[in-house]
Amino acid sequence: MDVHALGWIALIGIILVMITVDIIGHVKTPHAPTLREAAWWSVAYVAMALVFGVIVWFVWGSTYGGEYFAGYITEKSLSVDNLFVFVIIIAAFRVPRNYQQEVLLAGIVIAIVLRGVFIALGSAAIDNFSWVFYLFGAFLVWTAISQARQGVETVSEDDEYQENGFVRLVRRFVPVTEDYVGGKLVTKIDGKRMITPMLLAILAIGSADILFAVDSIPAIFGLTQEPYLVFAANAFSLLGLRQLYFLIDGLLEKLVYLHYGLAAILGFIGIKLIIHALHTNELGFINGGEEWHGLPEPGIAVSLLWIIGVLTVTVLASIAKNKKVAREADQVER
């Protein structure tokens, strides 16, 4: 895929415009968004991601267009799972409702920057070491098994948040105020410069994405090895998270089979990566260092259909489960 420098400039420009619109239109005037506002903006962000995919399809062809859509849908699905953790972090830091948009947006911007670094490193590793696909594939299969083991267990605001090492380090060496000081990130009390819990919450969300990237980056590299598409899919999926958070806040627990769905998607991509690694094998202790084509590698069309199919079944099964639970509850009350 030959992407001109103008293509990268245009993509980064779109991302910066979207962030600017968020800052001016939503964060600059702190408020708790209504369900309708969150819904319309969620639709707008998804629409922009889809339009970008159509542009990729017409400029670079259906193959790359399909890779982008498969990557975007996968990243969007994984980002929904990430929202569970965001709910816990927001609750743990007791972020005031009016300032939650600012915390989420700042954390997401940090996440986009970190994803860019991870994507660059991952792309360089793939270009120089084909055996990296074995590692990515094995890790995704292991992650899929872990997701499946979680089953219908989901997190809630009542679950205890465990601060990661980075946040604990900041808290240890930088004084933090006891309470929030409006929307300030840094303040001065008795002549002493201190950070507020709001800044700490932003750092917690931004640094938590490092864990999320560990499975999402290998997953999308299993669908496309084009850095341009990988970064675009990640950026568009992350930028819509703030609106999605307020849209489905309180409804996350309804997706009772989400972990099973993600397990099926990650497991499929993991196996796909391992098959790809076998097709380009260079390791001497595997098939004598020769390529092995005993199994066909699923094409992007098959991958896209699998991802969409699994998500559809996951949502429908979750709806059916919730209805069953509701009926049983009604019977008990009667």
Q: Which residues of 69-83 are buried (b: 16+ CB within 10 A; e: fewer)?
A: bbbbbbbbbbbbbbb
Phi, psi for residue 269 in degrees, rounded to 5: -65, -35
Q: Which of 61, 70, 52 is nearest to 303 (CA)?
A: 70
The low-confidence residues of the chain, meaning pLDDT below 70, are 25-32, 81, 151-164, 248-253, 334
- Backbone angle region of 287, left / alpha / beta, with phi > 0 → left and psi within -120 to 50 → alpha: left
Buried b (16+ CB within 10 A) or exposed e, 32-49: ebeeeebbebbeebbebb
Cα 87 → chain centroid: 14
Nearby residues of 310 by Cβ (< 8 Å), 6 or more positions away: 261, 264, 265, 268
Phi, psi of 303 (to 5 degrees): -60, -45
For residues 217 and 233, is the Cβ–Cβ distance under 8 A? no
Distances (CA, A) of 192 to 10, 171, 179, 186, 198: 43, 15, 15, 11, 18
What pLDDT, on a 0 to 100 scale, did the predictor assign at position 249?
59
Separation CA 246–CA 239 (nearest Å) = 13
**189: exposed, middle or buried (Cβ count in 10 Å: 0-12, 13-18, 19+):** exposed
Rounded distance between C-alpha atoms, residue 204 and residue 298, angstroms: 38
Is the separation of the CB atoms in 236 and 284 below 8 Å?
no
Model pLDDT, residue 155 = 47
CB atoms within 10 A of CB 184: 14
Query: CB within 8 A of 306, min separation 6: which ones?
Result: 265, 268, 298
pLDDT at 59: 93
Side chain identity, residue 315: V
Residue with tokens 């927001």: 90
Provide the 8-state DSSP code for 176: B
**What integer pLDDT is reported at residue 65 of this predicted model?**
93
**What confidence score (pLDDT) does residue 27 get?**
61
What SS3 state is found at 14? helix
**What is each CA distance from 206 to 52, 112, 114, 202, 211, in whole angstroms?**
25, 9, 8, 6, 10
Find the length of the chain.
334
Compute the chain's Rg from CA coordinates: 21
Q: Are 135 and 257 in contact (CB under 8 A)?
A: no
